[in-house]
Chain A
Amino acid sequence: MSFTEKYKPRKLSEVFVSKEKILMLKKLILERKSVILNGPTGSGKTSLVYALADELNYDVFEVNASDQRNKNNIDSIVRPSSLEGSLFGKGRVILIDDIEGLSGTKDRGGVQALANLLEESKWPIVITTTDAYNQKISILRKRSGLIEIEPFDSLIIFNILKKICDNENIIYDETALKELSRRASGDIRAAINDLQNLTSKNKELGKESLENLDDREKKEEIFTALNLIFKSKEIDKVINSIEKTNIDLDEAFLWIDENLPLQYLKSKDLFNAYENLSKADVFNGRIVRWQYWRFLVYRNFFMTAGIALSKENKYINFSGYRRNGKLLKLFWAKQKNLKKISICEKISEKNHVSVKRAVKDIYPFIKLIYKSGKTIEELGLDEEEIEYLRK
């Protein structure tokens, strides 16, 4: 039996959601209103609904991604059970689990049918989603309450895992268990699954077990693909090099971009290769813009065969491949820039200019003034912001 099933909270007292949110949900359900639970994967949305239904002694009628939720099915399956009374006069909750599964083509009209149902249903309808602000379901949002479910704190995950270990007689290294909890980034289901996978063999979680979990397999896959692209010129092999792996094109693109200049040492080769990578990127832009996915074929071609054929002669040197650090850098820069943006918002307010213009034209001068030790009280900057400017 899977741990996730075995240790699923069955009672409200076992659920890790704040009291006030539970009360909010309870109130809406008792008033037979519909509600959207918005929260990341594995934050316990579905379990919450079941546990609450258990407490209220309600039945749960669940429709999930494995059922097709097109207009017909909504009307023929969900609708009747939302209108009719239940057996033995028990209350009922209709749970539409993970509404994202409602794909554009297969579940056509499903959202609209569901929206109509929200108005008519005799029973409360609960919809779970990881993206309540998606345009596709805006019509549902307008007709329902919204409760935000937070991801699990890693400490809570740690405590849950610890209990499971004790219960299953698993020997664990505390640091490893902490690391495992942290890596789950708030997804309790993933954490429990990882724990089960790692300990299934010998009921032990040691320090080195986590390495197995790491994307070791993935790395090998991408290295093989990169080898084909950078070292060979056989177009038919190269074309499928990425498709054969589990790596998505975006990630592969970053790997290629990062390692290209380390592999192609002649500037003519490098120039040609970047020309082709640039073309692949142009097709990517067109996919995003026109939502025309067949362009993927061309993107893939230019970033695989295009790169392979850009070299005049094969390179035989071997050097390892580097992971692309761009995303991490972007993340940190964004964190750093938050302060700058908040300063520029204040400038913008006082100075009748847009934030963008404040960033470009005014901020550099304000910074110089603060660096010289002067302050401009009018801007109303707080201590932290002033310190940031003087740094």
Chain B
Amino acid sequence: MQRIWTEKYRPLLFKEVIGQDKIVERIEAMTKNKNIPNLLFAGPAGVGKSTVALVIAKELFGDRWKENFLELNSSDERGIDIIRGVIKDFSRTRAMGDVPFKLIFLDECDSLTKEAQQALRRTMENFTDNVRFILSCNYSSKLIDPIQSRCSVFRFKPLDKEGVKKVIEKIKKEEGLTINEKISDALYDISDGDVRRVINILQSCASLNKIITEDLVFSLVSAARPKEVKEVLELAVSGNFVNSRDKLLDTMLKHGLSGLDVIKQIQKEILNLNIKDEKKLILIEKCGEVEFRMVEGSDEYLQLESLLAAVVLYGK
């Protein structure tokens, strides 16, 4: 059966985890002693937070890990009330086997509102007897202090070049791929140390050709990233507001982009525009103002339109 490589190559044991050496060392010791506090994993995407949580569960509970491990995603589950209900049901029964507690892995905690975090904090207190929490987030600063203070915090780092290359090497051998040194350098540059991204790129390249060339990598990476945002901006610079905004709406809908996704790209692209630097400064300021208004709860599309109107005016 053809599998998703990110799952196929997900480490099952502590010693297979690549990167995060110090963190793994400490957590492995805790796991051996069956003495785990509430944990908070902070760090960017694709660096091993979920993997380490899964390894802990497998090491602790062996074959019965699925019964004793609950995985929830804060950004998908509808609201803290649902999360609380699920947690309550799960923790009502005792852990199976000789481990005195069950594990709850709550992913993307930083997407919870402050109020929801308060509720979560109380939930964490109520179930200390037979449950341990592993929380994960991208930015620990987005979590309220009481939650941080109830957890041992581990900061995961993006993998370094050596780490990413190890991953590539392993997959290359197992799947019989041809990848030269230069290409694995390029893959590292593209990945920003995000292993999931590297593996996804490799699998989609390999589905076309087992001999992986630089062209193949770059064509796939750009195919997977919408480049229409750049075209939207170029249309605005050329003075064609109506086409530019129509293209904007189509692009957002086609790729399911949020206003914030778009403005991040626009902000980067503004620097590459062929206009005077003073005008770039004005546009970046407008960009910031529009982003602020979006965060405050305004209509994303309309706010982007007002930004495009600014690009039309200053892009001349």
Contacts and interface: CB of A to CB of B under 8 A. Distances in A.
A28 interface: no
Nearest to A275: B306
Interface string B278-306: 00000000000010010011110111011
Contacts of A104: none
Contact of A278 (B239, B253, B293): B293
A108 interface: no
Contacts of A353: 50, 73, 107, 196
Contact of A375 (B2, B7, B299): B2
Nearest to A341: B256
A285 B4 contact: no
Interface in B214-249: 220, 223-225, 239, 241-242, 245, 249
Interface in B46-95: 46, 50, 54, 71, 73-76
B93 to A, nearest CB: 23
Contacts of A337: 256
A356 B75 contact: yes
A357 B316 CA distance: 38
B29 to A, nearest CB: 24
A315 to B, nearest CB: 15
Most buried by B among A271, A286, A373: A271
A350 B313 CA distance: 48
Contacts of A288: 297
Contact of A271 (B71, B297, B301, B310): B310
Contacts of B239: 267
Most buried by A among B46, B225, B245, B253: B253
Size class of the contact patch on chain A? 35 or more
A368 interface: yes
Given A274-B305, A285-B296, A376-B2, A368 B204 contact: yes
B77 to A, nearest CB: 9
A384 B201 CA distance: 25
Given A267-B309, A278-B303, A337-B256, A354 B76 contact: yes
A19 B6 CA distance: 52
Interface in B262-290: 290
Contacts of A348: 73, 76
Contacts of B249: 326, 329
B221 to A, nearest CB: 10
A261 B313 contact: no
Contacts of B302: 257, 277-278, 281
B108 interface: yes
A354 B7 contact: no
A289 B46 CA distance: 34
Contacts of A376: 2-4
Interface in A351-375: 351-357, 359-362, 364-366, 368-369, 372-375
A284 interface: yes
A24 interface: no
Main secondary structure of the interface of B (DSSP, over half): helix
B245 A369 contact: no
Main secondary structure of the interface of A (DSSP, over half): helix
B305 A378 contact: no
B4 A261 contact: no
A369 to B, nearest CB: 4
Contact of A267 (B45, B290, B313): B313
A275 B302 CA distance: 10
A267 B279 CA distance: 15
B4 A378 contact: yes
B148 interface: no
Contacts of A268: 313
A347 B220 CA distance: 20
A330 interface: yes
A1 interface: no
A285 B203 contact: no
Nearest to B3: A378
Contacts of A355: 73, 75-76
Contacts of B298: 278, 281-282, 284-285
A368 B220 CA distance: 8
A374 B71 CA distance: 30
B274 to A, nearest CB: 17
Nearest to A290: B297
Given A278-B303, A351-B4, A354-B75, A330 B253 contact: yes
Contact of B200 (A289, A362, A375): A362
B132 interface: no
Contacts of A329: 249-250, 253
Interface string A234-273: 0000000000000000000000010001100001101101
Interface string A325-347: 01001100100010010000001
B4 A278 contact: no
A274 B314 CA distance: 14
A368 B219 CA distance: 11
A274 B299 CA distance: 13
B207 A278 contact: no
A16 B57 CA distance: 55
Contacts of A350: 4, 7
A391 B239 CA distance: 34
28 contacts: A257-B302, A267-B313, A268-B313, A274-B306, A278-B302, A286-B296, A288-B297, A329-B253, A330-B253, A347-B4, A350-B4, A352-B50, A353-B196, A356-B75, A361-B196, A364-B223, A365-B200, A365-B204, A365-B220, A368-B204, A368-B207, A368-B220, A369-B204, A372-B204, A374-B207, A375-B2, A376-B2, A378-B1
Given A270-B309, A285-B299, A365-B220, 13 more contacts: A267-B309, A271-B309, A271-B312, A274-B305, A274-B306, A274-B310, A278-B306, A281-B298, A351-B7, A354-B75, A354-B76, A374-B207, A379-B4
Interface of B: 1-4, 6-7, 10, 45-46, 50, 54, 71, 73-76, 107-108, 196-197, 200-201, 203-204, 207-208, 220, 223-225, 239, 241-242, 245, 249-250, 253-254, 256, 261, 290, 293, 296-299, 301-303, 305-306, 309-310, 312-313, 316
7 cross-chain pairs, A with B, having the tightest CB-CB distances, nearest first: A333-B253, A364-B224, A285-B297, A274-B309, A274-B306, A278-B306, A365-B200
